[in-house]
A and B are shown apart, each in its own frame.
Chain A
């Protein structure tokens, strides 16, 4: 079993303008994902993220321990695609993670990232 974080690149604005039918498709796709994970492993958590405009970035100046705390508005990376949601799941292997991800809405780009144990 491997613990994977499934990161979803998707813009919330697309959701805001979605029709009832589209929304039903999205809900059904997420249900199918969760059902697959439940059958083959464990779903530890999930979340939908607000737009990057609502993000706040916090870091230490110069990455030094005594560096001044800098709080800025916006996400830490300027990117075309932003993470719009995530799943935290435990599945047997990458093949299962890909099979689960394939059930998600077709408008998503999905990144599957294994978690590791820091020792």
Chain B
């Protein structure tokens, strides 16, 4: 049922252009189906059944609506332009005919905040329940429901269209889709608390989003590179938590990694579309994926080719310099050439309200035998750390000194 969700939302949107109604209507239809199908049997055409039921809901709502509501602005679509295009054949066949792609591009529009776009994409394209989207982003469900409603109002209010843009701007719009998907993915790995330490199952939904879009645009370099990256990161999910605690990469049981996903990612990284010139975003995803691949293919932590990892970070810093990439490079340098070299690479690196630079510095100071300085750095990291699980980890490391 969930596989059809995005297509049904898209069909209902192009027919009724009422973004405020389709989600509830389809939700109601799915709810009725979950009650009646087990009793009456699954209909021959489940998607058609849901579409009919959802349509009836929308029509009911439209019938009972007051005059004021009927004057609400409608979602803008490219239906008129499409007819025009078909008449004149203006775009030489490069027009993309797909309602799901329209839906994806509408949800991940650059005029929406990335987080709002991510939440909306999971909800409308994949049908992820609002409660789960809220869990992913670590906010209460009513907050997330309000955020999604606001995003929908903004789409209609600002005139964000349910449309595929010109071929000339489509690649940059798909870059935004990739960014939105990656944000949804990483949200699942932002540490929470208790049993929700990682919400990796929900990160899996973000991977599904990438697969849906890649299914529509199979050769889009940004999406190929992104899928490789998220598969590699996600392949470690079962080894990352033990007894409610985070397990560092070096200590993970590599037998619990999903090696089929690693293999798929390696195939994607060999794709010819990544061989040519690519956008900085694509290059950044591909390099991060290649770094993850070095870890994924090392038989043991000791076998990691840290020299290659450092080299890839050097390239990444050229393509998209960021403090967190510098930090990760410093860790790799320390593994490759020892803690003193790592500390030198850390020199002057600060990330506002982030405990990680101090935590890494503390770890490297401890390894180089400077216990007093390590203790001071741990204190600094512990003070800056906003997450219970990570703070406990740092306190334990400090006590081990």
Taking Cβ atoms with an 8 Å cutoff, the residues of A that contact B are 2, 4, 92-95, 97-99, 112, 114, 116-117, 119
Taking Cβ atoms with an 8 Å cutoff, the residues of B that contact A are 68, 71, 73, 76, 78, 80-81, 109, 111, 157-161, 163, 165-166, 169
Contact A95 B165 (CB under 8 A): yes
Interface of A: prevailing SS: mixed
* Chain A residues with CB under 8 A of B163: 93, 95
The 25 listed contacts between A and B (C-beta, < 8 Å) are A2-B159, A4-B159, A92-B76, A92-B80, A93-B76, A93-B78, A93-B160, A93-B161, A93-B163, A94-B111, A94-B160, A94-B161, A95-B160, A95-B165, A95-B169, A97-B159, A98-B111, A99-B166, A99-B169, A114-B157, A114-B158, A116-B73, A117-B71, A119-B68, A119-B71
The CA of A98 and the CA of B158, in the complex, are separated in Å by: 11
Contact A92 B157 (CB under 8 A): no
Query: How many whole Å from B160's CB to the nearest CB in chain A?
Result: 5
* Chain A residues with CB under 8 A of B73: 116
* Chain A residues with CB under 8 A of B169: 95, 99
Q: Which residue of B lies closest to A3 (CB)?
A: B159
Query: How many whole Å from B139's CB to the nearest CB in chain A?
Result: 27
Contact B159 A114 (CB under 8 A): yes
* Chain B residues with CB under 8 A of A97: 159
Q: Which residue of A lies closest to B162 (CB)?
A: A93
The CA of A99 and the CA of B158, in the complex, are separated in Å by: 15
* Chain A residues with CB under 8 A of B165: 95
The CA of A97 and the CA of B68, in the complex, are separated in Å by: 27
The CA of A97 and the CA of B160, in the complex, are separated in Å by: 10
Q: Besides A2-B159, A114-B158, 9 other CB < 8 A contacts?
A: A92-B76, A92-B81, A93-B78, A93-B160, A93-B161, A98-B111, A114-B157, A116-B73, A119-B68
